[in-house]
Amino acid sequence: MTELIERPAPEIGKARRRREDARLVTGRTRWTDNIQLPGMLHVAFLRSPMAHARILRVDVSAARELPGVVAAFTGADLGPEQGSLPCAWPVSEDVVIPAHPPVAVEEVRYVGEAVACVVATDRYRAADALEAIEVDYEPLDPVLDMEAALAPGSPGVRAGQSNKAFTWVFSQGEVDAAFAGAPVLIERTYVQQRLIPSAMEPRAVVCDRLGEDYTLHSATQIPHILRVMLALTTGIPEHRLRVIAPDVGGGFGSKLQVTAEEVVCLLLAKRLNRPVKWTESRSEGNLTVHHGRDQLQRISLAAESDGRIRGLKVDLLADMGAYLMLVTPGVPLLGAFMFPGIYKMAAYDFRCTGVFTTKMPTDAYRGAGRPEATFAIERVMDELAHELGIDPLEVRRRNWIEREEFPYTSVAGLVYDSGDYGAATDRATELLGYAALRAEQAERRARRDPVQLGIGISTYTEMCGLAPSRVLGSLAYGAGGWEHASVRMLPTGKVEVVTGSSPHGQGHETAWSQIVADTLGVPFEDVTVLHGDTAISPRGLDTYGSRSLTVGGIALLQACGRVREKAKSVAAHLLEADPGDVDFENGLFRVRGTDAVRSIQEIALAVFTAHNLPDGFEPRLDADATFDPENFSFPHGTHLCAVEVDTETGMSRIRSYVAVDDVGNVVNPLIVEGQVHGGIAQGIGQALFEEARYDEEGNLLTSTLADYLIPSAADLPDFVTERTQTPATSNPLGVKGVGEAGTIASTPAVVNAIVDALRPYGVHDVRMPCTPERVWRALEESR
């Protein structure tokens, strides 16, 4: 009677091909812009061509008269109903959170800020109508440079107000003593250029109203957070609002936002009682999707003459742009704890000043704060090695936390639970052929080869898996860091999973199915994963900060465990055994020492029919779990990069790239490798190609993909990737996050390699992106 279902190998750890792919490779995808609803109208925004100006007049009357135009609104027309875009991370007592109307009313403060919107019967007519809107601006002074913005007498982003958004300080140990009389002192200033996240799918919003109920589709990473924030911003009650993130084409932090366009589309659906759609063009997106990075980092390191670190001081200026958006001021805080990296030191001092400028606001971009910190410490470790004349690997070895010292409380107060920096580094140097490359480098230097070789090192760790709610609370973040999962067995023995994670390329449908298959002993194919719709998945905190597996995956594991325990009690009842005598393996409940057996699928059916259940057993085989982690997860690894730099042209070419990462236990190695590849590519993009540039009037010069260079296949090398596997001790799967690690690690590896190649010429730094021109100028300046 018990039919055995073939389920041989464990699913966790298997390189399962992704189930998401079936719709993606055939073009049967559900992007937000694909949605067409009967009577749907199209929205377009008129955007400020000026970085800073007073709005004297906005006249939409001519636009309203055009054929196909249904409505047109100014910021004043939308009035108080449009509220103020939220900032959920008031980092300090002194933080200034300015009013941020979705459509500007009195003043514009960056190029691209919306000043009016039109609603028309198709997207071409909506675009036409923008040209009929008249706006009179009174230009005001742009504020573009952070240091100048803080100087007395600087023009204000807001008249009569300081351009300082906040200060945040942190200090641990005797910093002055560490620096006083230190044999070695390294002081450097690094520029984290402004970046544009550039997810391939542009943002899109579709909003429909049925009576008092609203359904908003958005290309977002955060349907759950968005629902709460839209309700708070617009006053439309949360329970009347359903938010759906359908297939979402990448995010990298850029879709972790509550945007002006989402708020306005919701209000337009309300006012017009018609479905509306807005899809941005790429050039609109480059102006108005929040930017990333943009920090000026002053870093000082005091060391002994053998290279051991005594102390570290960091003084940051972080460009907020014109407003504080969802987590704008929190991004540098996520970096604050990571400047000490993997190194032991007794004293650390961190200071950050957030600065307003008349630019697009910054916010989370892959790594959010941690790539900046890792870059600075890994660059400075190379400078320390150079100063002392020792190998940069050796200076790291003398300072890093040894395997047997875990768990280790870092100087910044984080408890690193596990790691083996030596193992990852040994394997990476072996894969790269470190010694042979050093020999080749010496040889090229000796013969003054115009093409020099550089080797870049990055031994990183990072904090991810956001996050313990208590820690977030102590940092004044506006929400928790838990995640939710529901698991239900259907009458036919199949399993439906609801996750609060919201994937946009990460492959959760596949990885979650693997976890369920092992935990409930069902075939991989028998699991379906539902997500990204607040009506289906009412509880969740979404996907960012490499949190989905380490938080959402654990919630899922726990929910599965509860389902299994319920099933076990039914199995024991049917087998007339004590639950304590029932074992579960591979989907089968067996009474120990007998042949009596029931499959979990049989139990699912028995629960459905409910004919013979234990007394008091509710006839449902499902369970929920909400997991709040105790700690972050701390992936680490060693990335090595060999770069050839042509000293005559300034051109850099990555010759080989090796990454040995430790992300703990792995659910799907294929997906992990993909995350590492993509992360490295984005980090290389920052190192070599990408920069959002504004001119002296505050115009964005990089508003298209022709000007803002994200790497193409021809610009990148192949990657050699391996893993060491030191399980995390902070969660039962032993997993660590992987989504951001590659980006955090790779940028300093590449820049260290370029600087290493140019050391014989006296070059100590090249500002990112290290374009041929920048490299050439650095060489000229030091000649």
With b meaning 16 or more CB within 10 Å and e meaning fewer, what string describes 420-459?
bbbbbbbbbbebbebeebeeebeebeeeeeeebbbbbbbb
Please identify which residue in 301, 495, 591, 671 interacts with another protein, judged by CB under 8 A.
671
**What span, in angstroms and rounded, lies between the C-alpha atoms of 369 and 696?**
27
Stretch that binds another protein, among 257-265, 415-423, 642-650, 669-677 (CB under 8 A): 669-677
Stretch that binds another protein, among 197-205, 569-577, 583-591, 614-622 (CB under 8 A): 197-205
**Pairing state of beta strands 408-409 and 276-279?**
unpaired
Element at 582 (helix H, strand E):
strand 582-585
First to last CA, the chain: 85
Crossing angle between the packed helical segments 741-758 and 772-782, to the nearest 10 degrees: 40
198 binds another protein (CB under 8 A): yes
Tell me whether residue 33 or residue 662 sits nearer to another protein (CB atom).
33
Please identify which residue in 4, 10, 34, 491 interacts with another protein, judged by CB under 8 A.
34
577 binds another protein (CB under 8 A): no
Please identify which residue in 87, 680, 692, 700 interacts with another protein, judged by CB under 8 A.
680
Task: Calculate the dihedral angle through the C-alpha atoms of 575, 578, 580, 585, rounding to the nearest 10 degrees.
Answer: 0
547 binds another protein (CB under 8 A): no
Question: 473 in helix, strand or coil?
Answer: helix
Identity (one letter) of the amino acid at 17? R
Please return the burial class of 4, using the count of CB atoms within 10 Å of its CB with bins 0-12, 13-18 and 19+: exposed
Q: How far is CA 406 from CA 374, 415, 634, in A?
A: 20, 9, 12
Q: Residue 629 is encoded by which pair of tokens?
A: 């982690």
Cβ 723 to another protein shortest distance, Å: 16
Q: Write out the binding residues for another protein, residues 693-752 only, by CB under 8 A.
A: 704-706, 710, 712-714, 716, 718-719
Vertex 582 angle, CA 578 and 584, to 5°:
155
**What span, in angstroms and rounded, lies between the C-alpha atoms of 766 and 670?**
35
Element at 204 (helix H, strand E):
strand 204-210
Binding mask 477-506 for another protein (x = CB under 8 A): ---------------------------xxx
Tell me whether residue 111 or residue 755 sits nearer to another protein (CB atom).
111
Alpha carbon 107 to chain centroid distance? 31
**What span, in angstroms and rounded, lies between the C-alpha atoms of 436 and 567?**
59
Identity (one letter) of the amino acid at 553? G
210 binds another protein (CB under 8 A): no
Cβ 154 to another protein shortest distance, Å: 35
Tell me whether residue 128 or residue 420 sits nearer to another protein (CB atom).
128
Number of chain positions touching another protein (CB under 8 A): 62
Tell me whether residue 17 or residue 592 sits nearer to another protein (CB atom).
17
Please identify which residue in 112, 202, 223, 664 interacts with another protein, judged by CB under 8 A.
202
Stretch that binds another protein, among 533-541, 566-574, 613-621, 680-688 (CB under 8 A): 680-688
Stretch that binds another protein, among 120-128, 352-360, 376-384, 438-446 (CB under 8 A): 120-128
407 binds another protein (CB under 8 A): no
Stretch that binds another protein, among 275-283, 338-346, 347-355, 493-501 (CB under 8 A): 275-283
Vertex 109 angle, CA 103 and 113, to 5°:
40
Q: Write out the binding residues for another protein, residues 509-538 only, by CB under 8 A.
A: none
Please identify which residue in 682, 724, 726, 730 interacts with another protein, judged by CB under 8 A.
682
Tell me whether residue 324 or residue 658 sits nearer to another protein (CB atom).
658
Question: Where does this chain bind another protein (CB under 8 A)?
Answer: 17-18, 20-29, 31, 33-34, 36, 67-68, 122-125, 128, 198-202, 247-250, 252, 279, 281-283, 504-507, 670-671, 673-675, 677-682, 704-706, 710, 712-714, 716, 718-719
